Amino acid sequence: MSTETGPAVGAEPRGHRIAPGPKGLPFLGNMPQFARNPLAFFERLRGHGDLVQWRFGPNSCVFVADPECIGELLTETERSFDQPALGIAFRTVMGNGVVVARGTEWRRKRSLVQPSVRPKQVRSYAATMAGSTVELADTWSGGERIDIKREMAALTQRIAVRTIFGVDTPADAEAMGRAMDVAQAEIGKEFAGIGALLPDWVPTPGRARIRKAAAVIDAEVGRVVARHRDGGDERPDLLSRLLTAVDETGAHLTDEEIRDETVTLYIGGHETTSSTLVWAWYLLSRNAGARAALHEELDRVLGDREPGFDDYARLVYAQAVVKETLRLYPTIWLVTGVAKEGARIGGVAMPEGTRVWSSQWVTHRDERWFPEPEAFRPERWDADAGDEIAEYAWFPFGGGPRVCLGTRFAMVEAVLILAVLARRFELEVDPGTVGPVPTLTLQPDREVLATVRARQRVRRAG
């Protein structure tokens, strides 16, 4: 990688370069190219090197593509880099939950939320994950046409509502799910559109829809929290764990904090996991070898039974399918930080305020780390081969102090969903290329329609 040292990036007089990079327009810099197609823009930046200077409007930015630099950015978050403040859309929906909070407040919240998503707890959510998927599988039949995006979104929504809120009455779950969907869609639009550049006080129709959705979420979550507090008994959902969590002073989370964290976990985990599954089905449908290897593993490990938590560790190929899907289609496709005083990346001093960007999309498709990067090859993740992959060449869950809190939750959920459905069915996605659209998450650019094919009777395990 390039480790040029030299004067600090943002301290340079305008026009003087200390790192290579593209030319930009007066005032706007490279903003128009970024806005038009951020994935293609980042790919072009990569053509300038591993540490590239560019401008977002008047602000000096650096793009890093090298795993070592990405590791520095991620592991130094909070110490040398701040995460940029999130806009009004995020704050209206997620309040001051762990994704929005910064500094000391973030540290407190993270330590309160973390125990509820530990591997030991994820074990207790696994039965709901598998059971909800079995309910879906029971409604599918061979020859049926499905919209995979819609099916996966509904399934992961059901799982999120059940595991986080313990809500199982269809009316409650539906009202909450609908409001969350509106909120999430509007956050995505604001993130990817002009809304991200508008000051918080500017009223827009999207922001009005977010406020309306947030009011429904407040009321629904408020009702569920009150019911949990009244019930008193220990339940196996995430909300119950948050209700008993205490910080180092012995204080519990307030109702408002509980609302913020549960909604944060829902928004953080729902669309990310559901989109990952859509991409996984698409890739499996286009790769007969990988599909056959997955089916072989499911038949061998599960035979005629449904999977449970203990199968997760045995379903190594299914895990590799999810990892390889997240390599090619990382649902979170960029991470950024804002340099604090004294921050350095790759030996280069970053003046305070410099915004440093990296993109999973670019580094995950770099042939130096992944030979034949466009090929879907779960075998890359074989125990031996997987060890050779450079640290931070693959970072779909981020890394460092703010690494995704739901990594284990998401991996177990995705593997169990694939296992339940692929044991019984193949999904034959309609011909044609599905491309990525980078909103808040990396979304397919169109409906992903498929024909369900029932698989031949599976063999017994053993």
For ligand HEM, the binding residues (CB under 6 A) are 98-99, 110, 117, 264-265, 268-269, 272-273, 276, 331-332, 335, 396-398, 402, 404-406, 409-410
Alpha carbon distance 359, 361 (integer Å) = 5
CA 245 to chain centre: 25
Work out how close the CB of 247 gets to ligand HEM at its nearest, in angstroms, rounded to a whole number. Answer: 15
Q: Is 384 exposed, middle or buried (0-12, 13-18, 19+ CB in 10 A)?
A: exposed
- The set of residues, in sequence order, having a beta carbon less than 8 Å from that of 253 and lying 6+ positions away, is 112, 242, 243, 245, 261
| Cβ(410)–Cβ(404) below 8 Å | yes
Identity of the residue, 159 or 452, whose beta carbon is nearer to ligand HEM in the bound complex:
159
Cα-Cα end-to-end distance for the chain: 49
Work out how close the CB of 117 gets to ligand HEM at its nearest, in angstroms, rounded to a whole number. Answer: 6
Q: What are phi and psi of 433, to 5 degrees?
A: -90, 135
Work out how close the CB of 125 gets to ligand HEM at its nearest, in angstroms, rounded to a whole number. Answer: 9
- Which three-class secondary structure state does DSSP give residue 246? strand
Work out how close the CB of 403 gets to ligand HEM at its nearest, in angstroms, rounded to a whole number. Answer: 7
Alpha carbon distance 126, 118 (integer Å) = 12
Work out how close the CB of 37 gets to ligand HEM at its nearest, in angstroms, rounded to a whole number. Answer: 21
Identity of the residue, 133 or 264, whose beta carbon is nearer to ligand HEM in the bound complex:
264
- Which three-class secondary structure state does DSSP give residue 142? coil
Work out how close the CB of 384 gets to ligand HEM at its nearest, in angstroms, rounded to a whole number. Answer: 25
- The set of residues, in sequence order, having a beta carbon less than 8 Å from that of 341 and lying 6+ positions away, is 352
Closest-approach residue to ligand HEM (CB): 406
Work out how close the CB of 98 gets to ligand HEM at its nearest, in angstroms, rounded to a whole number. Answer: 5
The two three-digit tokens of residue 85, written as one number:
């403040």
Identity of the residue, 293 or 334, whose beta carbon is nearer to ligand HEM in the bound complex:
334
Identity of the residue, 346 or 396, whose beta carbon is nearer to ligand HEM in the bound complex:
396
**In the sheet where 449-454 sits, what is the strand order?**
145-147, 449-454, 425-429
The two three-digit tokens of residue 199, written as one number:
């000051």
Identity of the residue, 92 or 331, whose beta carbon is nearer to ligand HEM in the bound complex:
331
Identity of the residue, 106 or 317, whose beta carbon is nearer to ligand HEM in the bound complex:
106
Identity of the residue, 269 or 438, whose beta carbon is nearer to ligand HEM in the bound complex:
269
Alpha carbon distance 404, 398 (integer Å) = 6
Identity of the residue, 117 or 221, whose beta carbon is nearer to ligand HEM in the bound complex:
117
Q: Return the closest-CA partner of residue 48 out of 77, 73, 27, 19.
A: 19
Q: Which residue has the tokens 């509106």?
A: 182
- Which three-class secondary structure state does DSSP give residue 396? coil
Work out how close the CB of 84 gets to ligand HEM at its nearest, in angstroms, rounded to a whole number. Answer: 9
